[in-house]
Amino acid sequence: MIVLLETPEKRRDIRLRLYKDDVFLIAHEAIKSLKPSLTLEELFASADQFTFFLLENDISDRDIMQYEIDSLKAEVSDELSFFLILSLSFFKLSALRETKGNAEKVARALVGFCQEYDGFTDLLKQLLKKEQERWLDSKRVDLLTYELKCIPKEVLSTDGLTVVNSIVDASLDLSVEGMQHIENVLSEVNDQNGHQYQKDLNRLREARKKKSKTLFHFERLNDIHDNGQVIIDSK
C-alpha cells in the first residue's frame, strides 16, 4: 500500500500530478514542515492509493477498517508518516464526497483513527487557514468545513467539542467572509446536535461581528482628505 519512489524521475512524475490536486495544494506546506520519514511525494501517493483502495472495496465499517489500518501501519517505519497518510486520506475522501457516492461514509469510518494522532487538530487548523487563503484567490475548495459536519456524529461529545473549538480558534484569523462561511456551517451542525456547540458558535459570531464593524473617527472635516491624521479603528 505504501508507495516508495526510488528515483528523482519518479518523484517528479508524482509531483506534476499533485500540482493539480486540491488536497496537495492546501496541505503540502503543513505536511512538509512536520518532517516525516517518507518524502512528500510518497506520503501523498500512498494516501491516494489507500483512499482509492477503501473506496473501491467500500470499506466503511469501522471494525473491518481496523484490519486495513493495522496492515498499513505495519508497512510504515515511523508513526508520524502513518498518521499523515491517514489524515491525507481523510482529506482526500472529503474532497471526493460530491463525486464518489461512498466517500462520505468511508470518511466517517476513517476519521476516528485520524483523531488518534495528537497533531490532527493542529493540522486541521493550518489547512483551514490555507483553504481560506485560496478562497480569497477565487480558488474555492471546501475540505475542512466537512470536518464540522462529520466528526460530531462519529465521536464522543468531548472529542467533538475539542475539534469544533480548534476550528473556531483557527477561524478567528480569517476574513469576515471566511468567518461567515464557517459560522453558517457550524450553525447547521449545532442545530443538528442539540446545540452543544452554542458556546463556540456565539464566540465565532461575536468575533465576526466585531471584525466587520469599522468605526471612523475624524478629528475635523479636513481629515477626510489624505493628510495622515485620520484614525481608522477596526473593532
Give the Cα separation of 126 and 153 in Å (integer): 23
In a domain, 222, yes or no: no
In a domain, 104, yes or no: yes
**Per-residue pLDDT at 49:** 93
**Per-residue pLDDT at 230:** 34
In a domain, 70, yes or no: yes
In a domain, 17, yes or no: yes
Range of the domain at 97: 1-117
- Total of domains in the chain: 1
Give the Cα separation of 61 and 208 in Å (integer): 39
In a domain, 22, yes or no: yes
Tens digits of per-residue pLDDT, 25-70? 888 988 988 988 999 999 999 999 999 999 999 999 999 999 999 9
Tell me the residue type at 184.
N
Residues of the chain with pLDDT under 70: 132-160, 213-235
**Per-residue pLDDT at 196:** 83
In a domain, 214, yes or no: no
**Per-residue pLDDT at 54:** 94
In a domain, 157, yes or no: no
**Per-residue pLDDT at 233:** 40
In a domain, 39, yes or no: yes
**Per-residue pLDDT at 231:** 37
Three-class SS state of 234: strand
| Mean pLDDT value across the chain | 77
Three-class SS state of 145: helix
Angle 145-154/176-192 helices, nearest 10 degrees? 20
What's the angle, vertex CA 173, arms to CA 168 and CA 178, rounded to 5? 75
Tell me the residue type at 171.
S
